[in-house]
Amino acid sequence: PSKKEELAVVAPSCGKPSVLSDSMISLDHGDPTMFETFWRGPIGKSAMLVIPGWQTMSYFSDVGNLCWFLEPGLEREVRRLHRLIGNAAVEGYHVLVGTGSMQLFQSALYALAPPIADSPISVVSHTPFYSSYPSVTDFLDSRLYRWAGDANTFDGDNYIEVVCSPNNPDGAIRETILKSKTGKAIHDLAYYWPQYTPITQMLAHDIMLFTVSKCTGHAGTRIGWALVKDKQVAQKMNKFMELNTIGVSKDAQLRAAKILGAVADGYEFQLTIPSGGDVNLLFHYARRQMAHRWRALRAAVAVSGIFSLPGEVGGFCTFTKDMVIANPAFAWLRCEKEEVEDLESFLREHKIITRSGTKFGVDRKVVRISMVDTDEAFNIFVDRLATMK
């Protein structure tokens, strides 16, 4: 093949289209494509990575580490970023890497479930809960754990409570609601980053899950990490990863390390370009874009008059040291019109694909809509919403 054809073979795909044929738009998935504009800016180059053919060949990354397949460079950047943002404690924690944080979620279920029990342990979460929790929990019909629905109605002392904060789908700040001493918790902190919410405290829970998907927008890199306090739990989670995928792609880890490093460099060296602004400051840039979208959405909802959204919440952000309003990654949109019983179908008739409240353990008059998709899809969405009566 010619040089040109060789390059074409490795050219990346361009992802999922959000504007489909017949002007249907899809805001069902939380595909964080809106951050692409930031990475196309000057910082994009500093996150570039070249891996020669002879590198990353071994299964092993650091045989002396509990997580022997974790690239030391990724661990360093994870710890550095948390120290910079102040959103989660890292001292005394084990860092584990996963193929996305959903793999780590499964490893945490495996690690927390008692190995010998008469019946599977119940996995619960406060409604509305992230739609993947029930499906991922029950997917393999495990004898170790079983989805048991809304934590509010759960009665018992043995359980795993999944806490997502800020919550997918409604952006609420959450804590465990079950308080038994024998209960266990998994904190999914995918959205606890400054573009979505003020950072109000440094969290220090037993198991905290994060992902580059939502932090920097690199969902396709498939890298998540867990901060785990207890060594035995960390070892069991690691065992799951060993049995499941014999580790995690080193190439993806190196890329994630490079990306997280570029984000931290943007702040620590305050990289500025002559025109100034926040083009190298991911969280400032992304917060500004998200805030702009939320203003546009609230304006469209006001013009339409048939919808409602959760109220605005804000607080003092210890990272940016100012009062800010939260910009959740999803709009949790309710229809106030009596005739509309199924909002997902109603919006589909208007060529907008969303995810029904029923998938999150609640009713059909509410849907989840991604706020992190492309400008094109988002702009069509708010324009269409404003015209609905």
Which positions lie near ligand PMP, rule CB under 6 A?
30, 100-102, 130, 164, 168, 188, 190, 211, 213, 219, 224
Q: Give the nearer residue to ligand PMP in terms of CB position, either 219 or 301.
A: 219
How far apart CA 366 and CA 360 sit, in angstroms, is 10
Nearest approach, Cβ of residue 105 and ligand PMP (Å): 7
Q: Give the nearer residue to ligand PMP in terms of CB position, either 47 or 219.
A: 219
Structure tokens at 304: 């339409």
Nearest approach, Cβ of residue 272 and ligand PMP (Å): 31
Q: Give the nearer residue to ligand PMP in terms of CB position, either 169 or 280.
A: 169
Q: Confirm if 141 and 133 have CB atoms less than 8 A apart.
A: no
Write the DSSP symbol of residue 33: G
Q: Give the nearer residue to ligand PMP in terms of CB position, either 138 or 342.
A: 138
How far apart CA 191 and CA 164 sit, in angstroms, is 8
Other Cβ atoms less than 10 A from the Cβ of 279: the count is 18
Q: Give the nearer residue to ligand PMP in terms of CB position, either 188 or 344.
A: 188
3-state secondary structure of 85: helix
Q: Confirm if 211 and 224 have CB atoms less than 8 A apart.
A: yes
How far apart CA 125 and CA 37 sit, in angstroms, is 34
Nearest approach, Cβ of residue 186 and ligand PMP (Å): 10
Sheet arrangement for strand 366-370: 307-308, 330-335, 366-370, 355-356
DSSP assignment of 357-385 equals GGGGTS-TTEEEEESSS-HHHHHHHHHHH
Q: Give the nearer residue to ligand PMP in terms of CB position, either 163 or 281.
A: 163
Q: Which residue has the closest beta carbon to ligand PMP?
A: 100
Nearest approach, Cβ of residue 239 and ligand PMP (Å): 20
Of 368, 364, 356, 361, which Cα lies nearest the Cα of 154? 361
Nearest approach, Cβ of residue 214 and ligand PMP (Å): 6
Nearest approach, Cβ of residue 252 and ligand PMP (Å): 11
Q: How far is CA 353 from CA 131, 142, 337, in A?
A: 16, 32, 19
Q: Give the nearer residue to ligand PMP in terms of CB position, either 213 or 289.
A: 213
Nearest approach, Cβ of residue 360 and ligand PMP (Å): 11
Structure tokens at 7: 């390059």
